[in-house]
Amino acid sequence: MGISIANLARHYGVMRAIDGVSFDIADGEFVSLLGPSGCGKTTTLRCIAGLEDPTAGSIALDGRIVSAPANGILVPTHERQIGMVFQSYAVWPHMTVRENVAFPLTIRGADKAIIEHEVREALARVSMGQLADRHPSQLSGGQQQRVALARAIVGNPRVLLFDEPLSNLDAKLREEMRGEIRQLQRRLGIAAVYVTHDREEALSMSDRVIVMNGGKIAQIGSPKELYHRPINRFVADFVGKVGFLQLQRQGSVWVVADGTTILTRSDGVHSDTALAAIRPENIRLSFSIETQEGNTQLRGCISQAHYLGPYTEYHLEIAGDTLRCYAQEDFQIGSEVIATMAQDNVVILPD
Amino acid sequence: MVPDLPAQGRPLWSSDLVLSLLYKATFFVVLLLVFMPLSALIYGSLRTTAPGQPGGEWTLVNYANLASSGVLTTIWTTLWIGLVASALCIIIGTTLALIVHRTDFRWPRTLTVLIGLAFYFPSFIVAMAWIIIGAPGGIINAILRDGLGLEWIEFDIYNAWGIIYITILHQVPFVYLTIRGPIIHMDATYEEAARTAGATPAKVMRRVTLPLLGYSIASSFILVFVLSIEQFAVPALIGIPGQVTMLATQLYLLVRFSPVDYGLAAAIGLALSAITGAAIWAQRRITQAGRLTTVTGKAGRVTPIKLGKWRWAANVFCFGFIALALLLPMIILLYTSVLRWFTANPFNGIYTWRNYIFMWESASTWSSFWNTLLVSGIGAAIGVALGLLCSYFTLRLKPTGHSALDFITVLPFGVPGIVIGLGLLWAYAYLPIPLYGTLAVIIIAFVTRFLPYAVETVGGQMVQIDRSLEEAAWVAGATRLSAARRIMLPLVAPSVQGAYFLLFMAFFREISAAILLYAADTKVISVSIWAFFEQANWGQASALSVAATLIIFMSLLVIGWLVPAGRRF
């Protein structure tokens, strides 16, 4: 049954940390909450864990209502049977690795034999079996995070919650851990909520991503939907690099400020002005015009160039707007170029 | 198979119920501890009779008497002695700290340990030793008269400067220990930036280091000022014979000697508390304002300033202070304790163990040792337990009214020990329980007085413990109570031990809160030493002081050995 959240709200006085959030997560599904700091993603997660009390709405875990302030239901955290991994790891420094992982079982009075077996299994799953008798101060950050992970899965949790668990690790380790977390969750087959502000993390790990902004959901969708078909400027900007062009409606088509028509697939915007969002990898730069069916070509001037290794990122001034595009060829700053983009890759968004 | 968490069925004694009962009990006890003496004092200051006496009526005459010339002179004396003493303490203490931590001084560790010992050396013992040295019948005058034949010079420690001198010897270690932290933790790059900008080491010190320490120095100054004007032992031992009266001693004289005036004493106690309370309030504002500056957490070691040809001066200054504050008093006490009759010339002395033998054989001395151990051991445990509960409630659980609790626990910071003693004297005269003259009342006085220290010590560590450590336990299925017990308690254990040690030591030395409350069979060591000295029995007083000092230094050793600084986490 996973997680079911309806009209969740959390107000601090007049400040609305979460303001009417609803979504469902199926068993086995991995969903990320993505957004800038202060968007309400962490508050939402903490409400699911019961570490914060929602002001309104309801939360159900595995079909059982755990938070519903209107009905006076508020199951305390320790009765929710969840697994959670914290940003700071929160591995208890006064216990060994083994004691840390055993805690969820000892606290509910499980048999010694069961505890020993489960702890061994959980530690093996995160490949920490040989370090079971160490103290956390003798472990690296990555190892501590593995201990936290083992502790989160050991108690047969109904759901797994992650609060930016990788943000304190270095880049290489982070990529490695992404894969491991995802594998572990798949094997357990339970719902997982993963809070992050890192779009790469959200896109690479999730079945679905919920982009939040200002306490509300901006868009829910698969990583590909969010990347290729964002429904507003905020989402387009937040899930990846993008450039925007101001558009005017002229008859049945959209034109840029210099009068060039932009070719797109059908769109749902009915106002007189709109934005075209184009990802940098979907723009091709050249010196000459080469018309092709379904392509738009715009004349622009290169204002900045940042060499990044595999390619160079150019900033292209077009009729008062700036597009970013990647190219492996060299262009001089100040040179006039032609930008070519296919109509499939131009997304029209409300202004 | 892993068992699921038990569903909703709640035990009779659920975690929340226990915690809420504990909270109410803590709140009640703290409220009682702090407000009973204070409200009794206010009541007393508005009455015409002594506590417990029948009759009497409401009056404002005690407050009117505050404006009498005698009391005004006392207030003035208290303030100027406090200001001069604390200014000198700051100068000497900061200089010591800068020499130790910013120059290539050779014995930084030794000096820090010695200053630590001086910090724990009770002020009344230092004062006694220096009275033996500097009184009209003391060692200096004997040397001047008999040794050098200078009969026209008479040295006399019994005056305001004597009080200031002893206060400095006693409080400089406090300044050193409070300034030392900010100096060590100051971000080294500030000073390095000044050096790369072309400033000489001396200029860096004057233009960068000292200004950056400004807040810490100001805060330390106010605290020393408060300690100087609220202290009782030094102005009593030196000021009373010299007829220099400070507020704390005037209060004592009004209660213990005729003409007795409990009402005026209460009013003076409140006036003194008003001054110290205002100072503490200012100090808190300053530390809050200063918290944002200087200390960044990444401590570094700046290149030390070379002392060069000034090395001898620095050595004389540092070890000279230790000699005056620690070594000389100890030697004098040892010397006096083995003399049959006091003489300044060691070659004329008749040496004897009788002071120690008398001490060993005296039942009343044993009972005062025993009382002190009881008061310190049990009292410190109660104080730390209360401090731990207060910190947990005000910092973590934050139930309704927690900010009021927070406020009440810091109040005793601003109330001098002797004023708490007087307040309890008033309060227990009206209580149905016969507490007066018991050890319990002394424990209550000490716990009240030092509760803020326990709360600060434990709370200081508790705020540094990441909240998610407890949250992780809740997520794992632990109730609030068992998370507090299994996660929070072990993690704050070092600070609990530290607070216990601090309170034990403070209780062991405390005299001002006990001096008005003790009865013949509830004497503590500090009071016994005091009594012997008052009877001019220097030998007995010295022997007892030597024993007390030994116990203090031994406890320091034992605790330093039991609680190693480098724990595994």
Nearest CB among A78, A110, A161 relative to B474 is that of: A78
Q: Scanning the structure block, which residue is given the tokens 């016969």?
A: B434
Q: Which residues of A touch B8 (CB under 8 A)?
A: 75, 79
Distance from the Cα of B464 to chain A's closest Cα (Å) equals 13
> Taking CA atoms, what residue in A is nearest to B493?
A94
SS3 content of chain A, % helix, strand, coil (to 5): 30, 35, 35
Asked if the C-beta of A117 comes within 8 angstroms of chain B's C-beta atoms, the answer is: no
The yes-or-no verdict on residue B464 having pLDDT over 90 is no
DSSP string, A5-50: EEEEEEEETTEEEEEEEEEEE-TT-EEEEE-STTSSHHHHHHHHHT
Dihedral through CA B426, CA B427, CA B428, CA B431, nearest 10? 130
Q: Report chain A's mean pLDDT, rounded to a whole number.
A: 91
Final residue belonging to a domain, choices A198, A228, A258 = A228
Average pLDDT over residues A308-327: 92
pLDDT (0 to 100) of residue B13: 63
Question: Does one domain contain both A151 and A12?
Answer: yes
Give the pLDDT score at B8: 47
- Give domain status of residue A234, yes or no: no
Q: CB of B380 within 8 A of CB of B503? A: yes
CB of B339 within 8 A of CB of B354?
Answer: no
Domain harbouring A83, CATH code: 3.40.50.300
B5, A78: Cβ pair inside 8 Å?
A: yes
Query: For residue B513, what pLDDT band results from cuts at 50, 70 and 90?
Result: confident
Kindly state whether A54 is in contact with chain B, defined as any CB-CB distance less than 8 angstroms: no
Give the domain extent around A255: 241-350
pTM of the model: 0.84
Q: Report the alpha-carbon distance of residue A261 to residue A271 in Å, rounded.
A: 17
Q: What pLDDT is stored for residue B568 in this prediction?
A: 37
Nearest CA in chain A to B482: A107
Cβ neighbours for A134, distance < 8 A, ≥ 6 positions apart? A96, A97
d(CA A274, CA A130): 59
| Interface contact B57, partner A, CB < 8 A | no
CB A197 within 8 A of CB A117: no
Q: Are residues A249 and A203 in the same domain?
A: no
Q: Per residue in A99-123, pLDDT tens?
A: 999 999 998 888 999 999 999 999 9
Residues of chain A contacting B3 with CB distance shorter than 8 Å: 108-110, 114
| pLDDT value of position B355 | 86
pLDDT at B292 exceeding the cut of 60? no
Query: Would the pLDDT of B296 be above 60?
Result: no
**A52 and A88 both lie in a single domain:** yes
Residue A142 lies in a domain: yes
Q: Assign A268 a pLDDT band (cuts: 50, 70, 90).
A: confident
Domains of chain B, first to last: 16-49+357-569 (1.10.3720.10), 67-352 (1.10.3720.10)
- pLDDT value at B551 more than 50: yes
Q: What is the pLDDT of residues B141-184, one digit of tens each?
A: 888 888 777 777 788 899 999 999 999 999 999 999 989 888 88
**Rounded (10°) angle between helices A112-125 and A141-154:** 130
Q: Which of A173, A198, A228 is the last residue of a domain?
A: A228
B490 contacts chain A (CB < 8 A): yes
Instruction: Please report which confidence band the pLDDT of residue B2 belongs to, taking 50, 70 and 90 as the band edges.
Output: low
Q: A110 at the B interface (CB within 8 A)?
A: yes
Instruction: Give the whole-angstrom CA distance, residue A227 versus residue A229.
Output: 6
The predicted model gives B330-345 an average pLDDT of: 86
**What's the confidence (pLDDT) of residue B6?**
57
Q: Tell me, yes or no, whether A189 and A326 share the same domain.
A: no
Following DSSP, what letter does each residue of A102-138 receive, concatenated? HHHHHTTT--HHHHHHHHHHHHHHTT-GGGTT--GGG
Number of domains comprising chain A: 2
**A94 to B477: CB separation less than 8 angstroms, yes or no:** no
B561 pLDDT higher than 80: no
Q: What is the pLDDT of residue A46?
A: 94
Nearest to A156 among B4, B482, B486 (CB): B4
B569/A137 touch (CB, cutoff 8 Å), yes or no: yes
Q: How is residue A284 written in tokens?
A: 């091709």
Domain C-terminal end among A193, A228, A263: A228
Angle, CA of B470, B474 and B479, to the nearest 5°: 105
Q: Are A83 and A134 found together in one domain? A: yes
Q: A190 to chain B, minimum CA–CA distance in Å?
A: 15
Do A72 and A210 fall within a single domain?
yes
pLDDT of residue B297: 46
Range B434-438 average pLDDT: 79
Interface of B with A in 430-489 (CB under 8 A): 466, 468-469, 471-480, 482-483, 486-487
Give the domain CATH number at A314.
Answer: 2.40.50.100
**What is the average per-residue pLDDT within B38-58?**
82
Sheet holding A243-250, edge to edge: A261-262, A253-255, A243-250, A273-278, A347-350
The pLDDT of residue B9: 47
Residues A13-38: tens digit of each pLDDT: 888 999 999 999 999 999 999 999 98
User: Same domain for A263 and A175?
Assistant: no
Is pLDDT at B563 greater than 70 in this prediction?
no
User: Does the pLDDT value for residue A317 go beyond 90?
Assistant: yes
**pLDDT at position B69:** 84
What's the longest Cα–Cα distance across chain B? Answer: 96
Q: What confidence tens digit (pLDDT) does each residue in B6-35 have? A: 554 455 567 888 899 999 999 999 999 988
ipTM of the modeled complex:
0.85
In SS3 terms, B247-269 reads as: HHHHHHHHHHCCCCCHHHHHHHH
